[in-house]
Structure 1
Amino acid sequence: MFGSFEGLMRLCTKLQGTSLEMSTGTANFISGGLGSFAFWFMAIPADNVKNRMMAVPLSDARPTFRGTVRLIYTTIGLRGFFAGLTPCLLRAFPSNACAFYVYEGLMRGFGAEKTRH
Structure 2
Amino acid sequence: MTRLTRSFAILAALGLATGAVSVAPPAAAREYVTVTVTDRPPPPRFERPPPARIGYVWAPGYWNWYGGRYVWVGGHWNPVRPGYVYRPPVWRPYGHGWRIERETWVRDGGWHR
The bucket for the TM-score relative to the shorter chain is under 0.3
Structure index of larger Rg: 2
TM-score calculated relative to the size of structure 2: 0.18
TM-score calculated relative to the size of structure 1: 0.18
Higher relative contact order (CA 8 A, sep 6+): 1
More helix by percentage: 1
More strand by percentage: 2
